[in-house]
Structure 1
Amino acid sequence: MATEPSWELYRSYLSVLQEGSLSGAARALGLAQPTVGRHVEALETSLGLNLFTRSQTGLLPTPAALELKPYAEAMHSSAAALMRAAEGQGDVRGTVRISASEMIGAEVLPPIVAELQAAHPGLKVELALTNRVEDLLLREADIAVRMVRPNQDALLARRIGVVELGLYAHREYLRKRGTPEKTADLAKHALIGFDEETPFLRAGSKSLPGWRRDAFAMRTDSDLAQFALIRAGAGIGVCQVALARRYPDLVRVMGDDFMFPLEMWVAMHEDLRHSARCKVPFDALCLGLEHHVA
């Protein structure tokens, strides 16, 4: 390799991987299509590898391209983290990226973030809502709200408390279908659950036999969609006790039979502990979430 490829070449290659075509990558990057094509060709020449093959549906990545993908993604995350850090030098300003699950990000964080941004107008907040645990060591996010205990030594983590999950249904649904009193009664009801098996589903099945994929009348991997189905009276599903309290028409069922606790943690890379851009949001999140679980 005569010269080390520049980041812009990797960025174009990664965008083609994600978009599946030169034209799609060009639109995503705001570049001309020939420019993206030249970047990919230059990277292939520098690395001595073929990264894509043409097909009727677009560009197909070669095995070499797929093997390099996680490294390019790590470079992309680091470059984005560098820009956020550069923006936030000095006062509480710049961009902070917060990762959280769908439910926490959509139902719990908005008022906390709104108050934070009102107090610090120079701060920009990116909310990455995903049930995937984003890697803070790779700087995919600055701060993460997690429902599992972080296990990396390089993270600064604070335990917020325990979030209790329960089975809930709309009052009108129970009026029509009756209220289950024991586990066997659930077989007579419309159950709302996940489509893909998850660690949570496996753990839930242990504490509530019969709570399995083939028993669900409605399946979705979106926690928000499940919550919406419960509120719409579609059936019985799992949701956070603290969130259900906001809706008087939601009734907890079989509370003695199904109580599933999840620990809540807020974490960030320990290198960010002295960054006002991250430390102030970290403390605000911890305070707001402590009120949520109280």
Structure 2
Amino acid sequence: MHTMTRNEPSWEWYRTFLQVLEVGSLSAAGRALGITQPTVGRHIDSLESALGLKLFTRSFDGFAPTEAAHELKPYAASIAATAAALRRVASSHGAGVRGTVRLTASEVIGAEVLPPILAALRDAHPELVVELVLSNQPDDLLRREADIAIRMFRPVQGALIARHVGGIEIGLHAHSRYLQAHGVPGSTSELSRHALIGFDQENDFIRRLQSKFKPFWRDSLAFRSDSDLAQLGAIRAGFGIGVCQAALAARDPQLVRVLPEQFSVTLDTWVAMHEDLRDNTRCAVTFAALVNGLDAYIKGVPGRGA
């Protein structure tokens, strides 16, 4: 039975441990962290000694994590997230709105909708620093992996402040160049003659979509990607017909809505943050800017969120 030494592990050791766990070698972890390979090795040795555990075994292609390492991973990740949140809170102290705020949003919202909202926020508060994580996976706000999240579903955790900003409509769209070359489908049955743009791997949202709209099965798609940005790029390039946010397509006169009566899906949109951040100035100001900007985007108000 191993016993812990009295040396309290350094937070840096946990960060190094997570990097080695991710990349599988000391040298690659060192490059990612900007430290030398011997320093990485010392961090791992020190953490193993402090915990009284063997975390890695050398394998033919690098470092293989032990069962103990896998069990420790979520706790180490939680420590890393808390340390990052601590630094963000510390950076915000002082006069005015300042410091770092970390956001998470889906690819299209983060890349296509938020930039003008965040630019206006930065103009108003030049000492504010924004970190943006583009992900369709919901980061856990309770673990402080982000300060504020834009989500396409209602957050259920009780410790969160959540504001419903409306529904974002998505519909079928194509570039006018594609429709001029291939014609405009007059019904869903005519879609089988067109190049359809869609998903690669199924998920819950895709399955719900398929139950309502039969033409979008994987085998019927001419372009498959799980990246919403890649699908949007294909639509804009004239590859074929795909799903796009109606408010986003409305910004580009070359993008044409197809079969609006037959295909319309509304994505509930929420802005959420941990209730402990309610009185944090940088988060409160950013939260309000996101709510107002997204509301304007949904309503198609020019100059705000556009």
What TM bracket, shorter-length normalisation? over 0.9
Question: Any gaps of 5 or more consecutive residues in structure 2?
Answer: 300-306
Partner of 2:304: none
Q: TM-score, normalised by structure 1?
A: 0.97
CA offsets 1:189-234 (integer angstroms, 9 cap, x no match): 1111111112221111011012122211111111111011001110
Is the Cα–Cα contact under 8 Å of residues 81 and 144 in structure 2 kept in the other structure?
yes
Kindly report which structure 2 residues correspond to 1:78-117, keeping only aligned pairs within 5 A, or say none: 78-90=82-94, 91-117=96-122
Tell me the residue number matched to 2:53: 49
User: Which of these residues, 239, 258, 270, is aligned with residue 234 of structure 1?
Assistant: 239
Given that 2:148 and 2:287 are in contact with CA atoms closer than 8 Å, whether structure 1 keeps it comes out as: yes
Counterpart CA distance in 2 for 1:270 and 1:133 is: 17
Q: Aligned residue for 2:174?
A: 169
Deviates further, 31-40 or 158-167? 31-40
Distance 1:249 1:35 in 2: 55
| 1:3-152 equivalences in 2 (<5 Å) | 3=6, 4-90=8-94, 91-152=96-157
Match in the other structure for 2:272: 267
1:50-108 CA distances to partner (integer Å, 9 max, x unpaired)? 21122232212222212211111111111000000001024210000011111001111
Q: Aligned to 2:256, what secondary structure does the other structure show?
A: strand
Aligned length, in residue pairs: 294
Give the CA RMSD over aligned residues.
Answer: 1.2
Report what 1:178 is aligned to: 183
2:5: which partner in 1?
Answer: 2
Aligned residue for 2:167, secondary structure, equals: strand
Is the 8 Å Cα contact of residues 21 and 65 (structure 2) preserved in structure 1?
Answer: yes
- Residue 5 of structure 2 contacts residue 51 of structure 2 at CA under 8 Å; is this kept in 1? no
Matched with 1:158 is: 163
- Contact 1:193–1:216 (8 Å) recurs in 2: yes
More displaced stretch, 203-212 vs 53-62: 53-62
2:197 and 2:242 in contact (8 A); partners too: yes
Alignment of 1:191-202 (within 5 A): 191-202=196-207
Task: Report if the CA contact (8 A) 2:5-2:49 is conserved.
Answer: no
Mind listing any 5+ residue stretches in structure 1 that lack a counterpart? Answer: none
Equivalent residues of 1:170, 1:232 under 8 A apart: yes
Report % sequence identity: 59
C-alpha distance in structure 2 between counterparts of 1:210 and 1:289, whole Å: 31
Counterpart for residue 252 of structure 1 = 257
Q: CA deviation at 1:131?
A: 0.8
Correspondence for 2:209? 204
Partner-residue secondary structure (3-state), 1:137: helix
Counterpart of 2:303 in structure 1 is none
| Separation (CA, whole Å) in 1 of partners of 2:177 and 2:128 | 44
Letter in 2 for 1:58: G
> How far apart are the structure 2 equivalents of 1:262 and 1:225?
19
Q: Deviations over 1:223-270 (max 9, x none)?
A: 111011001110110000000001111111111111101011001001
TM-score of the aligned structures, taking structure 2 as reference length? 0.93
Amino acid of the structure 2 residue aligned with 1:10: Y
- Aligned partners of 1:201 and 1:212 also within 8 Å: no
CA distance in structure 2 between the aligned counterparts of 1:57 and 1:260, rounded to whole angstroms = 47
Deviates more, 1:50-59 or 1:185-194: 50-59
Work out the CA distance in 1 between the residues paired with 2:194 and 2:74.
44
Secondary structure, aligned partner of 2:133? strand
> For 1:102 and 1:269, how far apart are their aligned partners in 2?
22
